[in-house]
Amino acid sequence: MRRLTGRRALTAVGVFAIAATAAAWSGCGDDAENQVNDAIDDAQQQAEDAKEDIEGQVDEALENADEATDQAREEAEQAAEDAPQEAQDAVEQAQDEAEQAIDEAQNP
């Protein structure tokens, strides 16, 4: 959805740039010059608005990426901290099960 908004904004900028150029070539005199200047001002304002919108979207995407990276790093660190204890627990459980199996085999 955001890509469409950015593309639409860029398309609008292109349309207004073409309109401003056409207006510049089509008229002469003060009224035509004022219209051209107004069209250029409008196109510039829309380009600036589109730029700010895109910059906001980029900033938001970077924030989201940073948050996801931080969360992944924290989860990896926690898993690394937990791994030795989990391995020890698994070894102890395997030993208990082996001892139980030996006891059952010796004392049917």
What integer pLDDT is reported at residue 103 of this predicted model? Answer: 84
Rounded-to-integer distance, Cα 92 and Cα 83, Å? 14
Token pair of 10, please?
């860029």
H or E segment to which residue 51 belongs: helix 30-106
- Residue among 54, 46, 57, 38 nearest 15 (CA): 46
Q: What is the largest CA-CA distance in the chain?
A: 112
| Tens-digit pLDDT profile for residues 10-22 | 676 666 667 666 6
pLDDT(84) > 50: yes
pLDDT(70) > 90: yes
What integer pLDDT is reported at residue 63 of this predicted model? Answer: 93
| Tens-digit pLDDT profile for residues 29-43 | 567 778 888 888 888
Instruction: Answer whether 9's CB lies under 8 Å from 49's CB.
Output: yes
Rounded-to-integer distance, Cα 86 and Cα 62, Å? 35
Q: What is the pTM of this model?
A: 0.47
For residues 23 and 61, the model is more confident at 61
Rounded-to-integer distance, Cα 15 and Cα 7, Å? 12
pLDDT(102) > 70: yes
